[in-house]
Amino acid sequence: MGPDSSDRMWHLARKASATRWQSQKDRMLRAAAKCFNEKGFSGTSLKDVARILGLTDAALYYYVRNKEELVYLCYLRAGDVGRETLDRAIAEGENGLDVVRRYLRYHVEVMTGERGPIAILSEIPSLEPLHREEILDISRRHGARFEDVLERGIADGSIAPCNVRMTGNAIMGALNWIPKWFHGDTAVAEQVVAEFPEILSAGLRVGGRP
């Protein structure tokens, strides 16, 4: 085996190791999201998360320093999901209302699918100040982008005139609370994906609210 082959094998091995590490980290964050959604910050311990994963709690310290960092990482992941699904909806949507519906469907699919659960941002006060400000900034920027979509819909005539701040808060509040009551039932997941985007966007239609 020549030097080039050895380098390729080394890089492949590193890539495989990084993939395994990321996969295990994703599993940890999903397990942690489940615990925090059900028990809150004070009611959850690293032992609870480790138990779901079939690990010792000491093994989790390979990924996080403490419980606060675990919450922070869960919230960063939630922010990533929101950004990814809104980016996709904006890229594919034909008008403002279509973007809203696509975003809701894509986000619900993640929440109730294999990448779920996603952490509810209900424990922000438990974060360290720098982490707290970062998560709040991510949340504010995401909310502002969604309000921009509503404004676009009003401008293009696909969405009825409304208070975009209040409307955005109402829709986001209902969307982000799904992980609190959804517990993994496949039949329920199918219903949520099929019906929630329509329910949450129905009042935006031009011509009246059902």
Span 112-159, pLDDT tens digits: 999 989 999 998 999 999 999 999 999 999 999 999 999 999 999 999
Q: CATH top-level class for 3-204?
A: mainly alpha
Please check whether residue 78 is in contact with residue 121, taking contact to mean a CB–CB distance below 8 angstroms.
Answer: yes
Dist CA 14 CA 22 (whole Å): 12
In one-letter notation, the amino acid at residue 197 is: P
Phi/psi for 203 (5° steps) reads -70, -5
Q: 98 vs 2, which has greater pLDDT?
A: 98
Say how far residue 101 (Cα) sits from the centre of its chain: 17
pLDDT digits (tens, 9 = 90+) for 62-83: 888 999 999 999 999 999 999 9
Dist CA 11 CA 29 (whole Å): 27
Please check whether residue 158 is in contact with residue 95, taking contact to mean a CB–CB distance below 8 angstroms.
Answer: yes
Question: Which whole-number Å values give the CA distances from 194 to 32, 43, 119, in the listed order?
Answer: 27, 33, 22
Please check whether residue 107 is in contact with residue 175, taking contact to mean a CB–CB distance below 8 angstroms.
Answer: yes
**13 in helix, strand or coil?**
helix
Q: pTM of the prediction?
A: 0.86
Q: Where are the domains of the chain?
A: 3-204
pLDDT digits (tens, 9 = 90+) for 175-185: 999 999 998 89
Query: Tokens for 127?
Result: 């974060």
Q: What is the average pLDDT across 17-21?
A: 59
